[in-house]
Amino acid sequence: MTVKPNYVTIKGIKDGLVFLLDDKCELTTLLEELRYKLEHSHQTILTGPIVHVDVKLGTRIVTDDQKEMILDILRQKGNLLIRSVESPEPPGGFDPLQSITTLSGIVRSGQVLHHEGNLLFLGDVNPGGTIACTGDIFILGSLRGMAHAGFEGNEEAVIAASYLAPTQLRIAEVISRPPDEWENRETSMEFAFLHNGKMQIDKIGNLFRIRPNFNAFKGV
């Protein structure tokens, strides 16, 4: 009797799941097994509240497109929130634009999303929800809850959102609660930063003024 190799191993950890993906098999084979396991097994852990997921690719080097193919399969399960992807650095050295981790989903009231480093969040943060990062926070969606960037004391961190209407912003130890008139101003595509120890709000197109290396994002 031939035993079918196991290319995808799912392990439960204290605060989520770890997906261990074989680094020797063909990528198409890996994707097929990942899709099969998500559709036909592990239903008890793949339904219900948000589950944080760490993906480990071993020694497999993948392109951005290949990584997206893997993440797209995982995102089909609405409760899986991808927290990290571990894979070897591709040839050619470090790309600073790759230092931003991308997560997607919805942070609902009572939920707190913690992240080490810079975060690009694709989704909404509802009132009562919180995102806290040691680095920058970029939200392609609505920020109606609370965001805390640079929570280990990084005063250079920024908070940006497609729709910026938070209940509270915090950068390092500086807290800013939005005034009542925020509801009457244009709130689209803005970011918060610290200037002389005080919270400032500006249009996201001006981010390059304090972050020259973010020129690539100008106009996004």
Tens digits of residue pLDDT in 24-46: 888 889 999 998 888 876 566 66
pTM of the predicted model over 0.75: no
**Of 1-5, 21-25, 182-186, which has the strongest mean pLDDT?**
21-25
**Cβ atoms of 182 and 215 closer than 8 Å:** no
Amino acid at 144: R
Domain chopping of the chain, boundaries: 1-93, 99-220
Q: What is the pLDDT of residues 138-195, one digit of tens each?
A: 999 999 999 999 998 999 999 999 999 999 999 999 998 665 545 555 567 899 999 8
Considering the domain delimited by 99-220, tell me its CATH architecture: 3 Solenoid (2.160)
Residues 90, 211, 177, 134: what is their CA dihedral angle, to the nearest 10 degrees? 30
- The overall average pLDDT reported for the chain is 82
CATH code for the part of the protein at 1-93: 3.30.750
- Reported as type and span, the H/E element at residue 68 is helix 64-75
